[in-house]
Amino acid sequence: MTTTVKPRRLPSQDRSKATVNQILLAAEALIARNGTGALKMREIAEQAEVPIGSLYMYFPNREAIIRTIVERYSTLIETDLSARVAQVKSTRELIALIGSIVNDYYKFLRSSPSLINLWTGSLYNKSLTELSIADSRRTAEILYHASKPFLTPRQRQRALPCFLVCVDTIGSIANLAVSLKPAEGDAVIEELQKMLVAHVTALFDKDMEVSAKKQAVPARRKSPDA
């Protein structure tokens, strides 16, 4: 049996959109306070000040609400990243962008308690884990397409896996950092910035590419008759 994790319908009228937004804001406040595991439909309705019937009109269960909130955050992050990479004109700017993404996401998490709990909850929910993987892939693809003009064909083969590593690592380590005391969390993020900047710099390093190519080609053995 498959559990429905999508909204029943997308509202088209302004009044309905306002109701859905009210529901999502209420759910987000409860998630920030108690986490995803304690989320209950009746409490969401009470927090949103809407009839329980109206809540079920739009969302079949709490999983659908959680998924919608996650998708909203993902869209916000991807839209911002797309606008930023559109301004990138060189490898230097792209590498600098990776460093700033780390710091900006960390600050965003610090100011968004519900997002921290959503990320933690996704670790134990198959549907949300799959959604998180899809989000990471889309984010990595945004960075990949921004980098393509600066890459050789061989470098392009490594680029998408490289950016997938970056995106997933940013998510994991930033969530670790926000659970620490601010000074320690800041230090962790600083180390993460250095690591990922070095990681992406290596992708664009043509000398390293030549070295890797040489290592990949086995030395020819001399013929006994030579």
Does one domain contain both 54 and 74?
A: no
Containing domain of residue 205, as a range? 66-209
- Average pLDDT of the residues of the chain: 86
The reported pLDDT for the residue numbered 210 is 41
Q: Give me the long-range contacts of 28-35 (CB less than 8 A, separation at least 24).
A: 28/69, 28/114, 29/114, 31/66, 31/69, 31/114, 31/117, 31/118, 31/121, 32/112, 32/113, 32/114, 32/117, 33/113, 35/117, 35/120, 35/121
Name the domain count of the chain: 2
The reported pLDDT for the residue numbered 218 is 53
Which pair of tokens denotes residue 175? Answer: 């969530």
pTM of the model: 0.80
Residue 218 resides in a domain: no
Q: How far apart are CA 21 and CA 11, in angstroms?
A: 10
Does one domain contain both 174 and 122?
A: yes
State mean pLDDT over 63-82: 92
Residue 128 resides in a domain: yes
pLDDT in tens, 146-188: 999 999 999 999 999 999 999 999 999 999 999 999 999 999 9
